[in-house]
Structure 1
Amino acid sequence: MNVFELNPDYIAIKEAYVTTMEDKYQRGELYLSYSSLSNFRKSPKHFVNYKLFGTDDTDSILLGKVLHCLVLEPQNFDKTYAIAPECDRRTKDGKATYNAFLESSKDKTVVSNSIYTSAVEMAISVLSNEQSKALLDSALFKEKRVDWERHGFKFLSFLDAEGEDYVVDLKSMPDADPKKVQREILSRCLWLQGGMYLEAIDQDKDYYIIAVDKKGNVSVHLLMKSLIEYGKSEFKRLCGDFEDCLSTNSWLKSYEYRSHNGIYPIDKPQYNI
């Protein structure tokens, strides 16, 4: 037997998802997002794996969600989240305490005390920073849902905050040092998100990113017009590639999809090795 025969479900699970996705597209029920397109930008396989398995860094995702709620929708925090008690669940009393907590927290997302403490530190820092506070205080909308269509596809986006002439995106970062955030903005394709969100509202507004790290350091960044325009053009290109994948069924391709013939040539650099 070979590895395919030993693992018959490996390909079948992905093919089943692709079939479901294509059916949704034909029925006009397929919605894309910045997260799905940024994964598709790496390769079709990255997109499928993201849709099937999400991301491994669940603690960071939960921290970001708690941060957003504390900053943008604090009135909803107690309805949505429950902070786990600090108790030793190896003991009888600890188990009883924790089980009672779970019983009283049904339909809420459980948050560890450490994640909550970090989120509070970050939220207070964002709301204490002069620049980020001014942007958030002047916002007309927070956590604004936008359903929109462009280039033949439907999209669902949530704008963290929108003012009269600007849009704000709140991001948890490993380090809020401005130079490091700029690298994160480029490597995480946040300029693509900016371009998509301004396409979503179909308005020419300034686009700010509020970066905050776990230590409570904050820096605010304005994405320049040229970078936003590049994001819009890349967005259009990715929609074209996505349509190509739908027609050629190339969803299991990895990095070879982005190369000319499946091969990446590499030459001696201009500098000495």
Structure 2
Amino acid sequence: MNTAAQQNPFDLFGDAHTQTELQLSQAQPETPDFDDFETLYLEPKRSNIQGIAPGIYYDLSNRDYHRDQSISKSGLDWIDENPSQLIWSQNAPRDKDKEAALDFGTAIHTLLLEPDNFDTQFVIGPDHARRSNAEKEAWAKFEAENTDRNIITPDDLRKLKIMRESVFAHPVARMIFEADGYNEASIFWQDKETEEMCRIRPDRAINFNGRPIIVDVKKVEGLDRFEKHVEEFRYYVQDAMYTDGYERHFGVKPEFWFLCVSSSVSAGKYEVEVVQLPDYWKEAGYEKYRENLETYTHCRRNDDWLHVRELERPRWAK
């Protein structure tokens, strides 16, 4: 094992870690040994001309992950809404001036899972309002000098740090980051039934007492809303696809947990909870995941992307 592999890459409080891209032998899936999982990955992974090859990648950038031609859960979300929307989502231009100045979900995600990238993605703006002309000019100059980073206020940073500390105050959440595991690894596989290349990028994968567990961090506006978010944002489909992708690669079915972090204060605290879905909700997610993947396969193979969605009359109008 090389020197980098001998070092502990999992520092709970954000020290730098880098892992070489390594390849699991494709001859037969193996259950990951988290006590020494680097030994499972034998050769540097290479991308083929058609896209990224099946396997697990520890150092693949988020940008390269999203640029791959394989289908992801977010792509299946568009398919479920209307297949034409998938093509639109890939080609529509962004109005960067109208995008939110700070996405707290992205910020807390980065602070928890990619702390070494926080300073490269976010910068603290001037500690004053933008009332006077001088203050407005100072902000304009600062924004012009930091076009490549998200600007946050000192109060934003204060809130984010409290949210992060709140996560580590929760015993299960803290265990998630103390257990052997890795963050932001990308898994690619070819679905046997449809032959489509698929991809997932779990926030964190751990081993807890011999149990493989996938963990996804969700920022919510109050934990009492999370059940609604599971349906609205199709988190139950994510549960199914991520579980399937992990099992297809490693040959073992993991548990799937959501680490929920509230961005709204309750009794002066940002609430944190770790939850999982019941079996019947997981089964519904798997059925929807397979249905969406089959629809995608049909559309791609037949170049069938011209779809007009038929609206349903609202209940109150009936």
Q: After TM superposition, is the score higher than 0.5?
A: yes
For each residue in 1:151-210, what CA deviation from the matched residue of structure 2 results, as whole angstroms up to 9, or x when unmatched?
332333221111112111110112212xx3122212321111111112222231111011
Contact 1:79/1:108, CA 8 A, preserved across alignment: yes
Partner residue, 1:42 = 81
SS class of match (1:131): helix
The aligned counterpart of 1:196 is: 241
**Secondary structure at the residue paired with 2:107?**
helix
Is 1:160 aligned to residue 203 of structure 2? yes
Compute the displacement of 1:221 (Å): 0.9
- Distance in 2 separating the partners of 1:35 and 1:213: 23
CA distance in 2, matches of 1:166, 1:60: 33
Change (3 A) 1:127 1:245: same
Cα 1:189–1:61 change in 2 (3 A) is farther
Distance in 1 (alpha carbons) for counterparts of 2:155 and 2:204? 27
Q: Flag the structure with higher helix content.
A: 1
Q: Contact 2:101–2:150 (CA<8 Å) still a contact in 1?
A: no
Gaps of 5+ in 2: 1-48, 52-67, 265-269
Structure 1 stretches lacking a partner, 5+ long = 1-25, 257-262, 268-272
Kindly report which structure 2 residues correspond to 1:243-258, keeping only aligned pairs within 5 A, or say none: 243-256=297-310
Q: Does 1:122 align with 2:173?
A: no
**Compared with structure 1, are the counterparts of its residues 61 and 147 closer, same or farther at alpha carbon in structure 2 (3 Å cutoff)?**
farther
Q: TM-score, normalised by structure 2?
A: 0.62
Task: Return the letter of the residue paired with 2:70.
Answer: Y
SS of the equivalent of 2:203 reads strand
1:110-259 equivalences under 5 Å are: 110-113=151-154, 115-150=156-191, 151-164=194-207, 165-177=212-224, 180-202=225-247, 203-215=252-264, 216-256=270-310
Instruction: Pick closer, same or farther for the CA change 1:265–1:78 going to 2, 3 Å.
Output: closer
With the length of structure 1 as denominator, give the TM-score of the two structures: 0.71
Q: Give the alignment partner of residue 74 of structure 1, picking from 115, 126, 132.
A: 115
Alpha-carbon distance in 2 for matches of 1:205, 1:220? 16
Q: Does the 8 Å contact 1:121/1:214 carry over to 2? A: no
Partner of 2:126: 85
Q: Residue deviations 1:43-73, cap 9 Å, x none?
A: 2243334332679995398211111111112
Work out the CA distance in 2 between the residues paired with 1:47 and 1:38.
8
Contact 1:170 1:210 in 2 (8 A): yes
| Structure-2 separation of matches of 1:41 and 1:54 | 22
Partner-residue secondary structure (3-state), 1:213: strand
8 Å Cα contact 1:45/1:252 also seen in 2:
yes
> Displacement, 1:88?
4.5
From 59, 62, 76, give the equivalent of 2:103.
Answer: 62
Alpha-carbon distance between aligned partners in 1 of 2:198 and 2:124, rounded to the nearest angstrom:
33
CA RMSD of aligned residues (A): 3.4
Change (3 A) 1:120 1:93: same
Equivalent pairs counted in the alignment come to 235
Task: Deviation per CA, 1:212-246: give whole Å up to 9, x if none.
Answer: 22121222211234433443332222111012223
Aligned residues of 2:76 and 2:292 also touching (Cα < 8 A): yes
Q: CA 1:188/1:118 → structure 2, altered by over 3 Å: closer, same or farther?
A: same
Aligned to 2:37: none
Give the 3 Å change call, closer, same or farther, for CA 54–186 of structure 1 in structure 2: farther
Which digits, 9 at most, give the CA deviation of each residue in 1:2-60, with x for residues without a partner? xxxxxxxxxxxxxxxxxxxxxxxx95562222112112212224333433267999539
1:69–1:27 Cα change, 3 Å: closer
Amino-acid identity (%): 19
CA contact (8 A) 2:186 2:201 kept: yes
